[in-house]
Amino acid sequence: MAFFQLRNVIKNTKVNVLKTEFDIFGKISEKEKIFVDCYEQSMLSSEESKTQEYYSLYKKSKEQYLSELNLVCLYIRRIFY
């Protein structure tokens, strides 16, 4: 009986880890897309149209993307170490 319970716990843990990994990488790709869009807009726009508001949006998207990457690194470190 204990063997079956242990097997179910391991199976459920694997499923939860996979769901978490899927969610994390989905968040990264979302933040990466926003960051890349902001970067591309900065390359296409002229110097006159670049404003402080646009710069702060670009900076915020970059910080969010790097924050998500940092969370993934911590998550992977927790799993493998």
Looking at 1-81, list the stretches that DSSP marks H as alpha helix, in order from N- to C-terminal side.
2-44, 52-80
Predicted pLDDT of residue 8: 67
Closest by Cα among 12, 69, 14, 60 to 4: 12
10-residue mean pLDDT profile of the chain (81 residues): values are 66 63 75 80 67 76 82 72 60
Cα separations (Å) of 51 from 17, 25, 57, 58, 77?
42, 32, 10, 11, 39
Predicted pLDDT of residue 47: 64
Give the Cα separation of 49 and 39 in Å (integer): 14
Residue 9 is part of which domain span?
Answer: 2-80
Predicted pLDDT of residue 80: 64
Overall number of domains in the chain: 1
Predicted pLDDT of residue 33: 83
